[in-house]
Amino acid sequence: MSAVVLVAIPHVGHADSAAVAPIRQLVQGLLRVMKAGRGTPFAERVEMLGPVIDQTFDLDTILKTSVGIGWNTLSQDQQATLFAAFRRYTVASYVNGFDQNDQHFEVNPDTRVSGNDQVVRVRIVHDSGDRDELDHVMRQGPKGWRVVDILADGVISRVAVQRSDFRQLLSRGGAAALAQSLESKSADLATG
């Protein structure tokens, strides 16, 4: 069972429009995958989107935060195995979630600032009229601004939910169980 975690992001400091650029790049990548649609093999769409995810997300930070303090107790091989499985799962999740050309994105150019992070708000507008709000928490690192968390409806932290799920898997079967679960989920996303 996943926990719902609410996060408050205050508005302080001065926003940097450079934090929005990776989100615009992500949106363009998602639009390409959506236009390719289900008629394009899943593996091909993964190849299309994988490099975009690598350039716009700080997957290393997201994974370390999701695993929590146990990360440092894992061997380098276990960390590398988990990272590869987590990357595949992340890319497969996006390809699976954006597989039809039935929505568009509205990226708010005004970011909210929280400490050293900035939050870029994205509205996904479906052809049906439904809307989803995804806030991308951005952090500047050696490779520039990258996504380090996503807040659904502005408050539900994906990393916090993952941390709860990952903790359960790690406590039951260690890094191998978590890697196996991520690989299994990736396979399910590819076929379903």
Q: Are 155 and 39 in contact (CB under 8 A)?
A: no
Please tell me the pTM assigned to this model. Answer: 0.88
What are the extents of the domains in the chain? 17-183
pLDDT of 11 > 90? The answer is no
Beta carbons within 8 Å of 107's beta carbon, 6+ residues apart: 20, 23, 24, 27, 120, 121, 122
At 21 the pLDDT is 95
Mean pLDDT of 139-165: 93
> What span, in angstroms and rounded, lies between the C-alpha atoms of 95 and 190?
9
Evaluate whether the domain defined by 17-183 bears CATH number 3.10.450.710. Answer: yes
pLDDT of 4 > 50? The answer is no
- At 99, the pLDDT band (50, 70, 90 cuts) reads confident
